[in-house]
């Protein structure tokens, strides 16, 4: 790790300087970067308290100044309301890729290196000016030799190396933070940073985006209302993606057309059905359905583009999410909490009473509202916000789902304010429930569970044998963690005192009984060293009894 810091020393300095410039000098100092980078101490002592910017705004400024990698990470982080506070999320959502396009000669070089031929040998036409430019790549319109119009996405030169360097630094900083800052350890920032890094590395491989497009295309192969661009694999590599060129109107420009040529209600309903089908039935969905990635075609069909960010839901996750939606619709606190526990990683120290109170407050917000006025994406997002406050970690794909629903509801509300996402979701939810309780699926799940339990039982003797061997070799240590340990110990102490009291009282009674019987059987009292045994025993037992009572009552734990 030290070698990595030395290798990227210049970039570490850039990151530290930007953090200090925007008021995060204390963070740099706590991470130990001030000593490592030999930065002047005055940088950490000077602070402009008159700066009116919020923490979220300053974080956004830092990210924008650090460049493409951090902008993409910030955009990915904006989908995690379960681990990032809402004010910071709202700032991260404003991050935009504002980068100039790279030159046409560089485009030619990359295409030749990746596809193994000159542009003229592959394309009949190739427009030098890009249709769009972003931090990772840019898109050009072109025509293949067979006359097919295509869009060619070309990765920015050297961007992969830049991103890999920045990701190494990001993961190193997260590791430092987790070792030095308590809040960073609580929120497992190293795992979070690793997750963001995986998402960004996936975007660097255009073949992954191509496979995502084909998988979603298969979902709608029998639906003429939805069109997914075709991928031309013979002209696609990790750095070049060639796909069908879509002739249509971006949803973001629909406001420019106020005529009746576009049925906004139909577009809204089709789009809602499209996204909900991907989420609830297929478990594989476009995670960034913003208006710039949705196009309306001349035949009124809807086209989806840009599949760099997708979400995946396992059958269990689909089931848990459906349970959450049903609990929201029925406004049942216990069911909502159960769904959260099934979906998330719940810390041992979670305060169930406080969690229930927060969920009750959220339920009361929607209590009595008709379903048409309940915004599903907003409700799920707020529920994940409750999870954040209690440090319950929700899987990334579920937060992507919440973000996609929120984006969808914003689009639908603008197109058709009367349309309810919950009304559209109802038939999908019912279908999911029917699938869950179909006899064949129930039997299949039961069979799977039986196999798992059978494997556990078969492995049990070996595991017990291994455990006994470890214990015999004195290589194990028993650790018991009990919540409310102090209360537990007090109760244990009280019980032991009560038992001791009972034993002493019983002993005292036995001694006294024996002395009385002995005295009764004999005509003369029992004498030891000229001391009457019965009287002496009584005095000793009484003193012991009084001493024990005094000790117990003084401890206050009787």
Helix-then-strand count for the chain, H and E: 24, 13
Report the DSSP beta bridge partners of residue 151.
141, 243
Quick check: 7 pLDDT over 80? Answer: no
CA dist., res. 194 & res. 174, Å (int)? 9
Name, of 184-188, 413-417, 452-456, 506-510, the range with top average pLDDT. Answer: 413-417
Provide the token pair at 107.
Answer: 């485009």
Quick check: 501 pLDDT over 70? Answer: no
Identify the pLDDT of residue 506.
62
More confident of the two residues 448 and 201:
201
pLDDT tier at 557, thresholds 50, 70, 90: very low
Grouping H, G, I as helix, E, B as strand and the rest as coil, residue 176 is helix
Report the DSSP beta bridge partners of residue 140.
152
**Closest C-alpha to 323, from 311, 305, 309, 335:** 335
H or E element that contains 149: strand 149-155
Residue ranges in 416-484 assigned as alpha helix (H)? 421-436, 439-472
Quick check: 391 pLDDT over 70? Answer: yes
Quick check: 240 pLDDT over 90? Answer: yes
CA dist., res. 357 & res. 348, Å (int)? 18
Report the DSSP beta bridge partners of residue 527.
532
Quick check: 519 pLDDT over 90? Answer: no
H or E element that contains 265: helix 264-276
Q: Which residues contact 116 (CB under 8 A, 6 or more apart)?
A: none
Quick check: 451 pLDDT over 80? Answer: no
Domain extents in the chain? 2-97+161-198, 259-437, 485-555
Identify the pLDDT of residue 3.
56
Predicted confidence (pLDDT) per residue in 157-187, tens digit: 989 888 998 898 888 888 888 888 877 777 6
More confident of the two residues 177 and 147:
147
Mean pLDDT over residues 370-395, rounded? 78
pLDDT tier at 49, thresholds 50, 70, 90: very low
Average pLDDT, the chain: 79
Identify the pLDDT of residue 395.
80
pLDDT tier at 479, thresholds 50, 70, 90: low
Identify the pLDDT of residue 218.
95
Quick check: 50 pLDDT over 60? Answer: no
**Closest C-alpha to 276, from 433, 422, 434, 80:** 422
pTM of the model: 0.70
More confident of the two residues 492 and 295:
295
More confident of the two residues 543 and 403:
403
Q: Is 240 exposed, middle or buried (0-12, 13-18, 19+ CB in 10 A)?
A: buried
Q: Percentage of residues in the chain with pLDDT exceeding 70? A: 73
pLDDT tier at 324, thresholds 50, 70, 90: confident
Mean pLDDT over residues 303-309, rounded? 90
Identify the pLDDT of residue 353.
86
Q: How many CB atoms lie within 10 A of CB 88?
A: 20
Query: How far, in whole angstroms, is CA 353 from its chain's centroid?
Result: 23
Identify the pLDDT of residue 129.
94
Identify the pLDDT of residue 371.
61
Predicted confidence (pLDDT) per residue in 213-228, tens digit: 999 999 999 999 999 9
Q: Is 288 a catalytic residue?
A: yes
Residue ranges in 307-395 assigned as alpha helix (H)? 315-330, 333-343, 352-366, 376-389
DSSP 10-75: HHHHHHHHHHHHTT-HHHHHHTTHHHHTT--THHHH---TT----HHHHHHHHHHHH-HHHHHHHH
Are 541 and 512 a contacting pair, CB within 8 Å?
yes
Quick check: 531 pLDDT over 80? Answer: no
Quick check: 315 pLDDT over 50? Answer: yes
Phi, psi of 224 (to 5 degrees): -70, -10
Q: Which residues contact 151 (CB under 8 A, 6 or more apart)?
A: 131, 139, 140, 141, 142, 229, 242, 243, 244, 245, 246
Identify the pLDDT of residue 511.
62
Are 286 and 275 a contacting pair, CB within 8 Å?
yes
Predicted confidence (pLDDT) per residue in 109-122, tens digit: 999 999 999 999 99
Q: Percentage of residues in the chain with pLDDT exceeding 90? A: 20
CA dist., res. 193 & res. 202, Å (int)? 14
Mean pLDDT over residues 30-37, rounded? 69
* End-to-end CA gap in the chain: 57
Predicted confidence (pLDDT) per residue in 92-110, tens digit: 888 876 778 999 999 999 9
- C-alpha triplet 346, 350, 353: angle, nearest 5°: 125
- Per annotation, catalytic residue among 82, 288, 358, 397: 288
More confident of the two residues 446 and 310:
310
pLDDT tier at 33, thresholds 50, 70, 90: confident
More confident of the two residues 539 and 266:
266
pLDDT tier at 365, thresholds 50, 70, 90: confident
How many angstroms separate the most distant Cα atoms in the chain?
A: 132
Identify the pLDDT of residue 1.
53
Residue 271: C-alpha distances to residues 125, 397, 424 (Å):
33, 20, 10
Identify the pLDDT of residue 417.
84
């Amino acid at each position: 790790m030290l070698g990595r810091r030395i290798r990227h020393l210049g970039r570490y300095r850039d990151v530290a300087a930007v953090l200090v410039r925007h008021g995060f000098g204390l963070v740099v100092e706590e991470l130990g970067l001030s000593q490592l980078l030999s930065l002047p101490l005055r940088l950490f002592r000077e602070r402009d308290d008159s700066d009116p910017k919020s923490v979220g705004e300053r974080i956004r400024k830092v990210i924008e100044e650090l460049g493409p990698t951090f902008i993409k990470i910030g955009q990915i982080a904006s989908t995690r309301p379960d681990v990032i506070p809402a004010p910071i999320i709202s700032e991260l959502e404003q991050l935009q890729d504002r980068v100039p396009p790279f030159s046409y000669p560089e485009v030619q070089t990359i295409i030749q290196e990746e596809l193994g031929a000159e542009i003229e040998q592959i394309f009949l036409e190739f427009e030098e000016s890009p249709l769009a430019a972003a931090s990772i790549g840019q898109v050009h319109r072109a025509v293949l030799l067979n006359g097919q119009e295509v869009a060619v996405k070309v990765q920015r030169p050297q961007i992969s190396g830049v991103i890999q360097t920045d990701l190494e630094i990001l993961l190193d900083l997260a590791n430092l933070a987790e070792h030095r800052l308590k809040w960073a350890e609580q929120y497992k920032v190293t795992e979070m940073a690793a997750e963001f890094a995986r998402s960004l590395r996936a975007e660097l491989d255009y073949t992954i985006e191509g496979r995502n497009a084909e998988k979603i295309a298969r979902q709608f192969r029998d639906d003429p209302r939805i069109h997914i661009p075709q991928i031309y694999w013979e002209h696609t590599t990790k750095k070049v993606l060639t796909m069908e060129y879509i002739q249509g109107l971006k949803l973001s420009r629909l406001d420019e057309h106020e005529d009746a040529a576009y049925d906004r209600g139909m577009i809204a309903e089709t789009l809602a059905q499209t996204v909900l089908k991907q989420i609830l039935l297929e478990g594989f969905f476009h995670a960034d359905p913003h208006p710039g990635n949705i196009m309306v075609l001349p035949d009124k069909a809807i086209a989806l583009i840009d599949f760099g960010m997708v979400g995946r839901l396992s059958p269990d996750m689909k089931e848990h999410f459906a349970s959450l939606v049903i609990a929201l619709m029925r406004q049942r606190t216990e069911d909502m909490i159960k769904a959260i526990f099934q979906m998330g990683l719940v810390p041992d120290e979670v305060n169930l009473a406080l969690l229930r109170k927060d969920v009750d407050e959220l339920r009361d917000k929607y209590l009595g509202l008709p379903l048409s006025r309940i915004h599903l994406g907003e409700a799920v997002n707020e529920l994940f916000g409750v999870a954040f406050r209690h440090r319950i970690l929700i899987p990334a794909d579920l937060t992507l789902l919440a973000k996609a629903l929120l984006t969808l509801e914003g689009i639908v509300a603008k197109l058709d304010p009367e349309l309810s996402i919950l009304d559209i979701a109802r038939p999908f939810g019912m279908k999911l429930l029917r699938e869950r309780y179909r006899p064949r699926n129930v039997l299949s799940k039961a069979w799977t569970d039986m196999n798992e339990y059978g494997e556990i039982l078969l492995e049990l003797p070996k595991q017990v044998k291994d455990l006994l061997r470890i214990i015999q070799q004195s290589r194990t240590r028993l650790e018991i963690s009990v919540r409310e340990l102090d209360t537990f110990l007090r109760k244990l102490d009280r019980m032991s005192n009560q038992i001791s009291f009972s034993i002493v009282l019983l002993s005292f009674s036995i001694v006294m009984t024996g002395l009385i019987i002995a005295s009764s059987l004999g005509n003369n009292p029992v004498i030891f060293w000229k001391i009457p045994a019965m009287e002496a025993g009584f005095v000793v037992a009484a003193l012991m009894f009084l001493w024990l009572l005094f000790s117990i009552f003084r401890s206050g734990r009787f």
